[in-house]
Amino acid sequence: MKWKESAIYINNLEIEIGFVICSSFYYGPENHFTEDQWHTLRESLELDDIPLYGENRSLTKYIINDEFRLIKYYYSVIKLCEKYKKCISKEKPYFWIHPLIYNTEGISIEIPYHDTYDDSQNFFVNFFAKEEGRIFLDSDMGWELSIYASNTDFYLREWNPDTGEDYNTIYFPKLLIQEQIPPLMQRTETIISVLTQALGEDYWSR
């Protein structure tokens, strides 16, 4: 494919899982709400200086062995669900976790529609596919992410197929990502276990 010829080689990528952190809890009507209601019918959540990547993700490497602040955050979500008689199963966005690929030099590729740990695991499996060629494809209106495998490298393209605008066109060693995934999964499972024990239910796995 022609875009591969212009792909930039990157050898310092990290793969992570980000726990979505919301600053406030919306307690208004579930349907037919106004924009004003969406912005004003809110209570602040207990953030307690949770370390963030970007605007609203806390990465496993920040959280591991320091889960207490995250426990306080999720406890505040649960208490507000109870206060406003919200069904927790309908408030899943407060418990979303997303895989992402990034580095400290400005590359940041979030994997949308993968909102649980099960979803993340299904995404990670792609990086261990034995065959060459396309191993992953996801798209939405004005956005597409595809990943291809060669013998030694992964090629990734994130772009707008409607306009042709490229967001990220890169390639990187297979081992760079493959070696990070097992310890990432171990960290994530440990964090989820600690959260589940503290809060009484696993809201993150599926």
Against a cut of 0.75, is the pTM above it? yes
| Percent of the chain at pLDDT exceeding 90 | 99
pLDDT digits (tens, 9 = 90+) for 27-63: 999 999 999 999 999 999 999 999 999 999 999 999 9
Q: How many CB atoms lie within 10 A of CB 112?
A: 12
Render the burial of 94-106: b for 16+ CB within 10 Å, e for the rest. bbbbbbbbbeeee
- Residue ranges in the chain modelled with pLDDT below 70: none
Q: Which residues pair with 15 in a beta bridge?
A: 101
Q: Are strands 97-102 and 57-59 parallel, antiparallel or unpaired?
A: unpaired
What are phi and psi for residue 156, nearest 5 degrees? -125, 135
CA distance 156 to 146: 6
pLDDT in tens, 8-29: 999 999 999 999 999 999 999 9
Run of H or E residues at 137: strand 133-140
From the CB of residue 179, how many other CB atoms can be counted at a distance below 10 Å? 12
Q: How many helices (H) and strands (E) does the chain have?
A: 6, 11
Query: For residues 147-172, b (16+ Cβ closer than 10 Å) or e, as one string?
Result: bbbeeebbbbbbbeeeeeeeebbbbb
pLDDT over 70, % of the chain = 100
